[in-house]
């Protein structure tokens, strides 16, 4: 049986037309499952009996089981979901003044192996299917009974290592007949897989791109991110500049602040020199400590000094406090405890 949440609108339209149904029937199905959250094809009253029978015979609704649900004092909620194959994935809901943002996982485990990230404690078992990513958004909305207005693809795994399924997921949640989450409210984060950044530059989705930089030079970045040995910082910056030129969109650089590793003022100067002239935004993040790693997040004083130095040198930047510090909010923490 096919998974109904694994179909984009255009795929469902093509399939239904091939079985002599109408193209607009696909829009009707999308509205039932995404806008009305109906989980029974027989309840889709404006569909013909033949179409309802076809859907029942060929499609199934999948589900995620909540294994663990943590709620932070700052309103952040973290979910450990069990998949149908009994593997576990993490999803995080973050509440902001502009709406609710869900951070989704794209892989079971991660092979990137960044030295500060709990995701890499579990090596990749497999890529998630598009429907398994879609279900994370649906399930959070169902549990909280609140609308999800923003999505960040920054959970466990490297989204660009699961590129096609990630793009398919975006098509599904962006559909005006589906969850209708605006493209500019969706952000995909990558550790810097240069060929995929180049491919993403040619997409027409208007989705935001964030690159995990975390260092101003190859020496520091290679210590923190093994992927820098394959795609050094010069290549990442070149691809970033091309992305901005092709898309005319601003790019975000994520920079986790680690005390005495990448938070020196001379490194802020180096970072500002590296990024000067790029239409970009630097998202500074104070590190959520992970017990397995001997790393410490920057003090508030050092983080503020780094932030002010970038600002003084003309770099558009913000200093974000990590949410969910009182729960297992860092990527991979909750799953690592379970597995």
Band (336; pLDDT cuts 50, 70, 90): very low
CB atoms closer than 10 angstroms to residue 320: 12
Instruction: Round to whole Å and give the CA distance between 191 and 212.
Output: 5
Band (80; pLDDT cuts 50, 70, 90): very high
pLDDT beyond 50 at 52: yes
Q: Which CATH class is domain 65-338?
A: alpha beta
Among 108-117, 146-155, 223-232, 307-316, the range scoring the smallest mean pLDDT is: 108-117
CB 89 within 8 A of CB 156: yes
Instruction: Round to whole Å and give the CA distance between 7 and 20.
Output: 18
Instruction: Round to whole Å and give the CA distance between 254 and 29.
Output: 38
Q: What is the DSSP letter of 184?
A: G
| Per-residue pLDDT at 199 | 98
Q: Is 90 a catalytic residue?
A: yes
pLDDT beyond 60 at 137: yes
CB 258 within 8 A of CB 303: no
Residue with tokens 């992927």: 227
DSSP-assigned states of every residue in 155-177:
SSS-GGGGHHHHHHHHHHHH-TT
| Per-residue pLDDT at 294 | 73
Q: Are strands 88-96 and 99-103 parallel, antiparallel or unpaired?
A: antiparallel
| Per-residue pLDDT at 332 | 47
Average pLDDT estimate for 330-339: 51
| Per-residue pLDDT at 328 | 60
96, β-bridge pairs: 99
Intra-chain end-to-end CA distance of the chain, in Å: 29
Residue with tokens 């932070």: 72
Q: Which CATH number fits domain 2-60: 2.60.40.10, 1.10.150.530, 1.10.3080.10, 1.10.287.130?
A: 1.10.150.530
Q: Which candidate in 90, 132, 158, 254 is catalytic?
A: 90
- Orientation angle between helical segments 23-30 and 9-18, nearest 10 degrees: 130
| Per-residue pLDDT at 335 | 47
Instruction: Round to whole Å and give the CA distance between 309 and 239.
Output: 26
71, β-bridge pairs: 77
Q: Where are the domains of the chain?
A: 2-60, 65-338
Q: Which are the contacts of 234, defined by CB distance < 8 A and separation ≥ 6?
A: 218
pLDDT beyond 60 at 214: yes
Band (123; pLDDT cuts 50, 70, 90): confident
Q: Which candidate in 103, 114, 117, 331 is catalytic?
A: 331
Please give the model's pTM, rounded to 2 decimal places: 0.93
pLDDT beyond 80 at 326: no
Average pLDDT estimate for 226-238: 97
How high is the mean pLDDT of the chain? 93
pLDDT beyond 80 at 143: yes
CB 113 within 8 A of CB 150: no
Give the burial class of 151: count Cβ atoms within 10 A of its Cβ; 0-12 exposed, 13-18 middle, 19 or more buried: buried
Three-class DSSP category at 115: coil
pLDDT beyond 80 at 329: no
Instruction: Round to whole Å and give the CA distance between 10 and 46.
Output: 20
Of 153 and 113, more confident: 153
Q: Are strands 280-286 and 251-257 parallel, antiparallel or unpaired?
A: parallel
Establish how many alpha carbons lie within 13 A of residue 333's alpha carbon, considering only the half-sphere containing its beta carbon: 19
Q: Is 331 a catalytic residue?
A: yes
- The pLDDT tens digits of the residues spanning 8-42 come to 999 999 999 999 999 999 999 999 999 999 999 99
**73 phi and psi angles, rounded to 5 deg:** -65, -20
């Amino acid at each position: 049986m096919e998974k109904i949440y694994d179909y984009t609108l255009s795929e469902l339209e093509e399939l239904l037309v091939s079985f002599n149904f109408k193209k607009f029937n696909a829009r009707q199905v999308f509205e039932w499952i995404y806008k009305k959250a109906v989980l029974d094809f027989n309840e889709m009253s404006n569909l013909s009996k033949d179409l309802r029978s076809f859907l029942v015979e060929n499609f199934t609704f999948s589900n995620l089981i909540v294994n663990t649900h943590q709620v932070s004092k700052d309103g952040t909620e973290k979910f450990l979901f069990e998949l149908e194959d009994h593997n576990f994935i993490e999803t995080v809901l973050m509440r902001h003044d502009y709406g609710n943002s869900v951070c989704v996982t794209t892989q079971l485990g991660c092979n990137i192996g960044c030295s500060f990230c709990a995701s890499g404690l579990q090596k990749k078992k497999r890529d998630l299917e598009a429907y398994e990513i879609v279900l994370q958004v649906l399930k959070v909305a169902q549990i909280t009974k609140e609308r999800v207005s923003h999505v960040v693809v920054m959970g466990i795994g490297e989204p660009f290592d699961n590129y096609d399924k990630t793009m398919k997921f975006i098509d599904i949640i962006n559909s005006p007949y589906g969850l209708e989450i605006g493209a500019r409210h969706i952000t995909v984060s990558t550790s810097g897989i240069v060929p995929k950044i180049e491919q993403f530059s040619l997409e027409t989705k208007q989705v935001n791109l964030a690159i995990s930089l975390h260092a101003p030079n190859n020496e520091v970045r290679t210590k923190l991110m093994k992927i820098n040995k394959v795609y050094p910082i010069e290549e990442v910056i070149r691809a970033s500049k091309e992305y901005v030129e092709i898309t005319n969109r601003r790019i975000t650089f994520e920079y986790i602040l680690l005390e005495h590793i990448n938070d020196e003022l001379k490194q802020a100067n180096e970072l500002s020199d590296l990024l000067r002239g790029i239409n970009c935004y630097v998202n500074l993040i104070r590190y959520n400590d992970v017990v397995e790693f001997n790393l410490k997040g920057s003090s508030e004083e050092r983080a503020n000094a780094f932030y002010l130095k970038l600002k003084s040198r003309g770099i558009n930047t913000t200093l974000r406090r990590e949410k969910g510090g009182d729960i297992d909010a860092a990527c991979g923490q909750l799953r690592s405890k379970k597995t």
